[in-house]
C-alpha cells in the first residue's frame, strides 16, 4: 500500500511516518510538507535514505502541486496532519490558520475525488468541542458533543471536520476523522508546553505558566496516537469520527511541576503570567467508541510517558537547541510580550 502523509515533517506526522516504516515493511510512504516553522527535515533524517520513503516539499493549498503529486504517486491512503496548530499564533494571525487548515483540506479531498483513494483521514483535535467546567470531572467529550470552538485554531479545525463530513455525504468520499487530546513525546516543537518548560528548566530559566495553571488537559503519548490512527484507517467505518484520549488528565501546573521534579529543578522557577484570551478550562475525552469498535486503549501512562519524553530531549539536544533560539514569538502571544519567551531569554 502507498501512504501519503501530509505534515509528515512535523511532530505527530513524523512519528506516524516512523510508525509506518516499522510496522509495514512492504509499504511506500510519501511525505508532503511545506516546511514552515513547525516542520523540519532534521526530524526525518533517519528515513530520508530509505527506498520506501519519499519526501516532497509543497503546500497542501497549492492545488497544482497536490494534483501533480497524486497523478505521479497514486497514493492509496491520505493522512492529513498538515495544519497550523498553535493556539496563541492563531490569536495573532488567524488568516494563516483558515487557509491551511480549511482550504488545504479541501484541496486534498478534491485530489482524492479526482484520482481515487481508499481512505482520506483527517487528524483533528478535541479542541473543536470547546471546553468543560473544572468543577465537573464527570463530564467528557463524546463524538456527539456539539462543536463549540473557542479560538481561531480550533474553529479552523472544526470547519475542516465539517468539510470532510460534507465531502463524504455529498460525494461519497471514503473519509474518517480522529479527534485527539493533547499529544506529547519525541520531536515536539519547542513552543509547546512540555518541551518549552523542559528546555527552559534545563537552562534554569523562569517557566511562564498561564493564569493560575489550573487549566486541565488530557495527555496522550504520541506513539499511542499513531497506533490509534492506524486502526481507524484500517478498520474504522467510512464517515466515522473517533475520539482518541490519553486517559491522563493533569492541570498545566501539575505538568510543569512534574517536569521540574524529574529534572530535580526548584519550583521557584515557575512564573505565573497573564492568561491568554479565550483559554479553555478543561479537556476530557471519552474514547469508549474506539475502544468498543476497534479495541484501542492507550498503553502509556503519563508518568512513564513524561520520563521517556524527557530522556529523549536530553539525548537529542542537537535536534532542538537551534530551534529553541529561533522564532517562538507566538508561544505566549502578544498580550504576554513582557512576560513571555522573549522576556525570559528563549529568543
**Phi (first) and psi of residue 33, to 5 degrees:** -150, 140
| Residue 31, C-alpha cell as written in the block | 511525505
| Residue 182, C-alpha cell as written in the block | 493533547
Report how far apart, in Å, the C-alpha atoms of 266 and of each of 66, 96, 180, 271, 273 are. Answer: 49, 38, 32, 12, 18
Catalytic residue among 127, 161, 280, 286: 127
Rounded-to-integer distance, Cα 193 and Cα 219, Å: 11
- Are the CB atoms for 165 and 175 separated by under 8 Å? yes
Strand partners, 32: 6, 56
Is 126 annotated in the active site? Answer: yes
Catalytic residue among 33, 59, 126, 161: 126
In the three-class reduction of DSSP (H, G, I as helix; E, B as strand; rest coil), residue 312 is classed as: helix
Catalytic residue among 153, 167, 184, 313: 153
Where is 209: in which H helix or E strand? strand 207-210
Is 153 annotated in the active site? Answer: yes
Rounded-to-integer distance, Cα 169 and Cα 328, Å: 40
Residue 119, Cα to own-chain centre: how many angstroms? 20
Residues marked as catalytic: 126-127, 153
Amino acid at each position: 500500500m502507498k501512504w501519503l502523509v501530509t505534515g509528515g515533517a512535523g511532530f505527530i506526522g513524523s512519528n506516524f511516518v516512523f510508525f509506518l516504516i516499522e510496522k509495514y515493511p512492504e509499504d511506500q510512504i510519501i511525505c508532503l510538507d511545506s516546511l514552515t516553522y513547525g516542520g523540519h527535515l532534521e526530524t526525518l533524517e533517519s528515513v530520508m535514505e530509505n527506498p520506501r520513503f519519499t519526501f516532497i516539499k509543497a503546500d497542501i493549498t497549492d492545488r497544482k502541486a497536490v494534483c501533480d503529486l497524486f497523478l505521479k504517486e497514486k497514493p492509496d491512503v491520505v493522512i492529513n496532519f498538515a495544519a497550523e496548530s498553535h493556539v496563541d499564533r492563531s490569536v495573532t494571525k488567524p488568516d494563516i490558520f483558515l487557509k491551511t487548515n480549511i482550504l488545504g483540506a479541501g484541496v486534498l479531498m478534491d485530489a482524492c475525488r479526482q484520482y481515487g483513494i481508499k481512505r482520506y483521514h483527517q487528524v483533528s483535535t478535541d479542541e473543536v468541542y470547546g471546553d468543560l467546567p473544572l468543577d465537573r470531572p464527570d463530564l467528557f467529550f463524546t463524538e456527539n458533543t456539539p462543536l463549540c470552538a473557542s479560538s481561531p485554531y480550533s474553529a479552523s479545525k472544526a470547519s475542516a471536520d465539517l468539510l470532510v463530513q460534507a465531502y463524504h455525504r455529498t460525494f461519497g468520499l471514503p473519509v474518517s476523522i480522529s479527534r485527539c487530546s493533547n499529544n506529547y513525546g519525541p520531536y515536539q516543537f519547542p513552543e509547546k508546553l512540555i518541551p518549552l518548560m523542559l528546555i527552559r528548566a534545563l537552562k534554569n530559566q523562569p517557566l511562564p505558566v498561564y493564569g493560575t495553571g489550573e487549566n486541565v488537559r488530557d495527555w496522550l503519548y504520541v506513539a499511542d496516537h499513531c497506533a490509534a490512527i492506524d486502526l481507524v484507517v484500517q478498520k474504522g467505518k467510512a464517515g466515522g469520527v473517533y475520539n482518541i484520549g490519553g486517559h491522563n488528565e493533569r492541570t498545566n501546573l501539575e505538568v510543569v511541576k512534574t517536569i521540574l521534579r524529574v529534572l530535580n529543578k526548584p519550583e521557584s522557577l515557575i512564573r505565573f503570567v497573564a492568561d491568554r484570551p479565550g483559554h479553555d478550562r478543561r479537556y476530557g475525552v471519552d474514547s469508549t467508541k474506539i475502544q468498543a469498535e476497534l479495541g484501542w486503549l492507550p498503553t502509556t501512562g503519563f508518568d512513564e510517558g513524561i520520563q521517556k519524553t524527557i530522556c529523549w530531549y536530553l539525548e537529542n539536544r542537537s535536534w532542538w537547541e537551534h530551534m529553541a533560539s529561533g522564532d517562538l514569538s507566538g508561544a505566549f502571544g502578544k498580550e504576554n510580550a513582557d512576560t513571555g519567551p522573549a522576556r525570559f531569554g528563549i529568543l
